[in-house]
Structure 1
Amino acid sequence: MAETSTIEWTDATWNPVTGCTKISAGCDHCYAERFSERFRGVPGHPFETGFDLTLRPARLHQPLLWRQPKMIFVNSMSDLFHKELPVSFIDGVFDTMERADWHTFQVLTKRSSLMRAYLRRRYGSGRGPAHIWCGVSVEDGTKLSRVRHLREAPAGIRFLSVEPLIGPIGRMDLLGIDWVIVGGESGPRARPMAPEWVRDVRDQCRAAGVAFFFKQWGGHRPKAGGRLLDGREWSEFPEIALDRTPVNAA
């Protein structure tokens, strides 16, 4: 677990699993893969196996030892709903999150149908715990089925990560969605993000009463383009977050 994070919308990261495989265009220039593969073959390094899918059971209970409330991004270096992950291991992650209810956990996936199926098995037709936020990545308008899967999942809080935004989104059904994050791609091969794509998502959020967070414009370096959209920063969170720990609290 990293006790701090440079990600603007969270406080810390927790990676009981690392590594992944690509499933859509949003994965093409994956920052986690780029970082991990730098250390492939380095004896004793945590990423000695590069970006290969790796279970890390020794980390399963880490959040229980962290007594200060935090917002925690789960599996920033993987996808908790990868099809090769044993359901029993996912159960262990959720067991820890449910027990560590003084934290807020943010779980993000591109495997939206698998997440929907898992949450239905675990929580039935109700809603999951309010401190476990579940989200899906949507990089352009071809992936709106992920939004539908999320809306059909019994998550406590539902959010979208529209990052990297690599094409226009089009009209989204935001009923039941609590939060939307938008960001451009960063890194040496970053694809450009058109301002009108961002404004369209923002305007849809405002019309639907959904919290909107603009993370970055992207570029060669993550913060190169800044965070201003039409002259201001957009850093909204779901209302429930106001009753819990502030982001980047000490």
Structure 2
Amino acid sequence: MAENSKIEWTDHTFNPWIGCQNVSAGCDHCYAETLMDKRYGKVQWGPRGERKRTSAANWRKPRQWAKAARGTGKRPRVFCASLADVFDNKAPYGARADLWSMILDTPELDWLLLTKRPENIAKMLPVSWGEGPSNVWLGTTCEDQRAYDRRWPVLRDTPAKVRFISYEPAIGSIDVGIDGPWPDWIICGGESGPGARLMKPEWADLMLMQCRNRGIAFFMKQMTGKAPIPDDLLVRQWPEVA
């Protein structure tokens, strides 16, 4: 459950546990559910489903990545979690506390924590959070305007070094508004699995234009079905971190 990632915007993925449940329209074609529940039968998805902590060997991986990064001048990015949600209220007992400890013990890594449950963040942060550790980026998935209007204001008011939006799967247009503060970074992408819903190219064009006008870093991950990205959309930026 930890690996050198094929996800274009990160270096590694780490899953402290696996399992989740759908919370909005963006979850309807969840690749993690397809893999872990329907294909491999690792966990049962849904409100009565389970969350399984990953192996001790898997938990050792981030410390290995941190050790390898020392003295290199590079800061590997770790996406946590691709097969779960860090702010799930059904997380295995003690696993989230152990995750916070590991994040603090690996300052060489930038941890990208992405959730569809930003309303849970404040009550699940460690008491030492303060303005947020310098190696943690907090993000939330916003698949359309409704999700953005509900989730971004919560994340906006949460202290963090970097706040970002995963606009994936994009199933509707998003207007980030004329008044900030805005996200530091927006990742844009269409669905790619069976029955993928269409991301209209003009939605991505609109988001890129908004990012350019507001100084937001923009990362175009993929078109629907992993079709070739048009040249005018092939922009892949990361936020500037002091």
Once the two structures are TM-superposed, the CA of residue 117 in structure 1 deviates from its matched residue by 3.3
Asked if 1:153 is matched to 2:154, the reply is no
8 Å CA contact 2:53, 2:92 repeated in 1: no
The 8 Å contact of residues 77 and 110 in structure 2, kept in 1 or not, is answered as yes
Q: In 2 relative to 1, CA 153–187 (structure 1 residues): closer, same or farther, beyond 3 Å? A: same
Is the Cα contact below 8 Å between 1:165 and 1:183 reproduced in 2? yes
Q: Is the 8 A contact 1:72 1:106 kept in 2?
A: yes
- Normalising by the residue count of structure 2, what TM-score does the alignment of the two structures yield? 0.86
- CA RMSD of the aligned region, Å? 2.0
- 1:1-250 equivalences under 5 Å are 1-36=1-36, 37-40=38-41, 47=42, 49-51=43-45, 52-56=50-54, 58=56, 59-66=58-65, 67-69=67-69, 70-85=76-91, 88-119=94-125, 121-124=127-130, 127-143=131-147, 144-172=149-177, 174-219=180-225, 223=226, 225-230=227-232, 232-240=233-241
Task: Using the TM superposition, give the Cα deviation of residue 61 of structure 1 relative to its aligned residue in structure 2, in angstroms.
Answer: 4.1
Residue 110 to residue 233, structure 1, CA distance change in 2 (3 Å): same
Q: Which runs of 5+ in 1 are unaligned?
A: 41-46, 244-250
Residue pair 1:116, 1:149 contacting (<8 A) in 2 also: no
Q: Quick one: structure 1 residues 64 and 140, their matched pair in 2 at CA, closer, same or farther if it must change by over 3 Å?
A: same
Q: What's the CA shift for 1:121?
A: 4.4
1-structure distance, mates of 2:80, 2:160: 15
Deviations 1:212-244 (A, max 9, x none): 00000021xxx3x123352x521100112xx8x
The answer to whether the 8 Å contact 2:4/2:11 transfers is yes
Question: 4+ residue stretches of structure 1 with deviation over 6 A?
Answer: none
> What is the number of residues matched between the two proteins?
227
- The one-letter code of the counterpart of 1:117 is K
Q: TM-score, normalised by structure 1?
A: 0.83
- Tell me how far 1:68 sits from its aligned partner: 2.4
Maintained 8 Å contact 2:176/2:182:
no
> How far apart are 1:154 and its partner, in Å?
1.0
Q: Are the structure 2 counterparts of residues 229 and 53 from structure 1 closer, same or farther at C-alpha, using a change threshold of 3 Å?
A: farther
Identical counterparts, % of pairs = 39
